[in-house]
Structure 1
Amino acid sequence: MRRWLRETAGGLPATYWYLWTGLLINKVGAFAMLFLSLYLTSSRGASESLAGLVVGAYGAGGAVGVLLGGLLADSWGRRSTLVWSHLAAALGMLALAFTEHLVAIAVLAALVGVTHSMPGPAFVAAIIDVVPEDRRSRAFNLQFWAFNLGMAAASFLAGLLAESSYLALFLVDAGATLVTTVLIAWKVPETLRRTAGGRSPEAPNRTGRRRPGLRTALTDRTFMVFVGLTFVLAVLTTQTSTIMPLAMRADGLSAASYGAVVALGGGLIVLGQLFVPRLIDGYRKHLVLAGSTALLAFGFGALALADHLPVYLAASVVWTIGSMLAAPPNAEINAELAPAVLRARYQSVFYLTFPAAAFVAPALGGLSLQHLGDWHWVVAGGLGLAAALGHLLAGPPRERRVAAIRRTTSTATPLVAEKA
């Protein structure tokens, strides 16, 4: 067991582990927004429609925060972005805890959405900065595991705290965010690397032209094809929290049954994610992604035949394994396609797939389920298989693009690390 742990987690720098610990602490404490709609309706007298608008404001803020976090992490610095966004998020949570006016709550929810999403691109960019390429698969795998472990713990703690006090939800959430802020400020150095002249990626070059920015990522055809395929994966996985509960209710299954399906998936990830690198090492990334996306397609497609809980549970095992296998190569490819000076910007574009899927999946999925019934899951499965084929077709040219980036990087002007 000790040898396996060394193989799984060994060889990663101390800075990575401080980032990993900060992510875990933050996710364990990130539960107040999970109960925002219930808090608004039960404690602040908001209607269900108004509560939905406020929660939507938080989601819209998250989309803005992802892009803003990428821009700041590439120009201002990873450490600075992480520290100040976490501090702002903690202050926002404290303000939400004591604010009673619904308009003010909606504004604060949007601002908290911005600050909650800002650290994402900076976290990943910092990991890419400090972890050698041959260890990134394990690093990203452990990051995905910490994220899910933290969310599982947050869901459990939130249920306990919500029964006693909604105020405690916000205060503990803010406290966990402050702990993460202190840890990063104390232990994580600045990992953004500058040119030898000390310029940031956004500074004008000698010809007066600005260096490539966010538009570079959005017009990078190879990268955007990859983002599009990831968006399909995100739409499929979002079915579990948006459309599947409606389908289970239509089949006469209780909320407890839905909870059992979700808990099974979360338990599989917590127990099995650490074994994933040993399963996929040595396989080409696009083949792993094609296979994992196919598993997602078969898992969700099987719900067309699901009328009883055992079928839902079996399907959950299939699509959860697919999600687990997809996580490391997805993160690795995202890192490989990003030019060094635009790492966080590329991350921010990539991260946009998830709030976009969170909007598309319920908006179109609800209509699809209403009009197609069980055929909705056939369509979902077909979409997943098309994405699997897309990975098979896009993989070889993507590998050639990565090889070209490596050649360019190896001949580029040496960089010097910026002092913390």
Structure 2
Amino acid sequence: MPVAALRRATRETVSGLPREFWWLWTSTLVNRLGAFVATFMALYLTLDRGYSATYAGLVAALHGLGGVISSLGAGVMTDRLGRRPTLLVAQASTAVSVALLGFMHHPVAIAAVAFLVGAASNASRPAVQAMVADIVRPEDRVRAFSLNYWAINLGFAVSSMAAGFIAEVSYLSGFLIEAGMTAVCAVVVFVKLPESQPRHTRTEKGGDEVRLGTVLRDRRFMGVVGLSFLVALVFQQGSVGLPVAMGEAGFSPADYGLAIAVNGVLIVALQIPVTRFIERRDTRRILVVSALLVGYGFGLTAFAGSVGVFALTVCVWTLGEMLNAPTQTGLVVRLSPAHGRGRYQGMNTMSWSVAALVAPLMSGFVIDRFGAEWLWGLCAVIGTVAAVGYGALMRHLPAQEPAADGTPAGTKPETTAAKPEGSPV
């Protein structure tokens, strides 16, 4: 009976989504299956090339900075040029820059190309998220975003394991394999995915109604972006603060790897049933609960004294991650007009990119000055602030996203929209 129930639940989770979504999902999975470079970049620079840890950190920061800058640029491209052209440009640029990075030897050249890789690889995210919103019905979007998030984590789990074996053979082969698999994603997009951007109205001057200034003046949305940054800042501690704190406490890298592996295993195993649980539930409550789970999950790390307890704390904040990721992305769609989804998703993506830059600085400063316990306490405080913020901002959440012409949700019938939301152009 449990097996039959699991099969039925899986069938209901994946049914009813358009064919275009599954091609996009396949492209995402293949992309993440080939994401080797980010996994072994530090080892490549320090062990294979002989550079210092400081230089490796600089390259990682430049890689992240490229992602911050491209988030907004790709969001504008997604709205102006379309989802499909932006995806093609981003994936083709990623394939070329990753392959090029494998042949760089001079430290300045490596740093410059790493910046380009960060910019190119991050540029596809606003387009993917906008395309999912375009082709999937509003009532199915949380499920679709959750499935896409599941593909990202499944691909990352496999690629992380494969990266170690590939690095033992040849670091260059890892660069070339990732470039090749990214090129395959571009081919899938080119052959199988039509442009999905809805038709939209223009102003009398011929410009887009939604500009970056429009997004910045949207106070509710920018509040959500700020809360997303806070949650992401805590999430990042799993990869920057946690290994440092465990190392200082006398645990080995293998102990950290064992504890953090729980994150990927839980997401792959539980994301689909968690999606079924949250799909029809109140967005505000889910975001509040997710922020508390993330904050206090890391906060409990202050009391961990064994690998098993560290793994239990990872379970707590991973559950918060599974609740937050698809719900937050779906919320951005609800708060953005159809013809401005690229810019809105780009701004949301940027909050995570900035958090990836700030988190290492924050964790290093707090651990060095005050100790790891203060870092985990700060995480609990940040999670609480984010939960309160979500509760306050989401009190009058629109029932649906604004119409394609920018009219706020609920002010005009759906039948007057320029094009049905579920059908690609």
SS of the residue corresponding to residue 411 of structure 2 reads: helix
1:414 to 398, 415, 418: 418
Task: Evaluate the alpha carbon distance shift between residue 63 and residue 11 of structure 1 in structure 2; reply closer, same or farther with a 3 A threshold.
Answer: same
SS of the residue corresponding to residue 280 of structure 2 reads: coil
Q: Give the whole-Å Cα distance in 2 for the aligned partners of 1:356 and 1:377.
A: 20
CA contact (8 A) 1:44 1:102 kept: no
Q: Is 1:47 matched up with 2:41?
A: no
State the match for 2:383 in structure 1: 384
Task: Evaluate the alpha carbon distance shift between residue 177 and residue 4 of structure 1 in structure 2; reply closer, same or farther with a 3 A threshold.
Answer: same
2:34 to 7, 29, 41: 29
Q: Is 1:271 matched up with 2:269?
A: yes
CA contact (8 A) 1:130 1:191 kept: yes
SS of the residue corresponding to residue 82 of structure 1 reads: helix
Q: Give the whole-Å Cα distance in 2 for the aligned partners of 1:333 and 1:221.
A: 14
Please list every run of 5 or more consecutive structure 2 residues that lacks an aligned counterpart in the other structure: 1-5, 403-407
Q: Give the whole-Å Cα distance in 1 for the aligned partners of 2:36 and 2:63.
A: 14
SS of the residue corresponding to residue 204 of structure 2 reads: coil
Please report the RMSD computed on the Cα atoms of aligned residues, expressed in angstroms: 2.1
CA contact (8 A) 1:296 1:318 kept: yes
TM-superposed CA distance for 1:189, in Å, is 0.3
Q: Give the whole-Å Cα distance in 1 for the aligned partners of 2:378 and 2:52.
A: 34
SS of the residue corresponding to residue 49 of structure 1 reads: helix
TM-superposed CA distance for 1:319, in Å, is 0.8
Q: Is 1:119 matched up with 2:124?
A: yes
TM-superposed CA distance for 1:34, in Å, is 2.3
Q: Is 1:182 matched up with 2:187?
A: yes
SS of the residue corresponding to residue 18 of structure 1 reads: helix
Q: Is 1:358 matched up with 2:363?
A: no
Q: Give the whole-Å Cα distance in 2 for the aligned partners of 1:238 and 1:7.
A: 33
Which range moved further: 33-42 or 269-278? 33-42
2:20 to 15, 18, 32: 15
Query: What do residues 340-382 of structure 1 show as CA deviations (whole Å, max 9, x unaligned)?
Result: 1100100000001111111221112221122232132122112
TM-superposed CA distance for 1:409, in Å, is 7.5
Task: Evaluate the alpha carbon distance shift between residue 411 and residue 175 of structure 1 in structure 2; reply closer, same or farther with a 3 A threshold.
Answer: same
Q: How does 1:122-161 map to 2 (within 5 A)?
A: 122-161=127-166
Q: Is 1:227 matched up with 2:225?
A: yes
Query: What do residues 62-113 of structure 1 show as CA deviations (whole Å, max 9, x unaligned)?
Result: 1112111111111001111111211111111121122222222222111111
Q: Give the whole-Å Cα distance in 1 for the aligned partners of 2:281 and 2:146.
A: 15
Q: Give the whole-Å Cα distance in 2 for the aligned partners of 1:310 and 1:99.
A: 42
State the match for 1:74 in structure 2: 79
Identity across matched positions, percent: 38
Query: What do residues 9-56 of structure 1 show as CA deviations (whole Å, max 9, x unaligned)?
Result: 111000000000000000110111322222223333333222222222
SS of the residue corresponding to residue 282 of structure 1 reads: coil
1:345 to 327, 343, 346: 343
2:327 to 326, 329, 334: 329
TM-superposed CA distance for 1:207, in Å, is 4.3
Query: What do residues 222-258 of structure 1 show as CA deviations (whole Å, max 9, x unaligned)?
Result: 0011111111110111111011111111221111110
Q: Counterpart of 2:315 in structure 1: which amino acid?
A: V
Q: Counterpart of 1:281 in structure 2: which amino acid?
A: E
Q: Counterpart of 2:51 in structure 1: which amino acid?
A: A
Task: Evaluate the alpha carbon distance shift between residue 178 and residue 248 of structure 1 in structure 2; reply closer, same or farther with a 3 A threshold.
Answer: same
Q: Give the whole-Å Cα distance in 2 for the aligned partners of 1:326 and 1:43.
A: 38
Task: Evaluate the alpha carbon distance shift between residue 251 and residue 352 of structure 1 in structure 2; reply closer, same or farther with a 3 A threshold.
Answer: same
Q: Counterpart of 2:270 in structure 1: which amino acid?
A: G
TM-superposed CA distance for 1:328, in Å, is 2.1
Task: Evaluate the alpha carbon distance shift between residue 3 and residue 64 of structure 1 in structure 2; reply closer, same or farther with a 3 A threshold.
Answer: same
SS of the residue corresponding to residue 211 of structure 1 reads: coil
**How many residues are matched?**
413
CA contact (8 A) 2:292 2:320 kept: yes
CA contact (8 A) 1:85 1:116 kept: yes
State the match for 2:405 in structure 1: none
Which range moved further: 72-81 or 42-51? 42-51
TM-superposed CA distance for 1:193, in Å, is 2.2
Please list every run of 5 or more consecutive structure 1 residues that lacks an aligned counterpart in the other structure: none
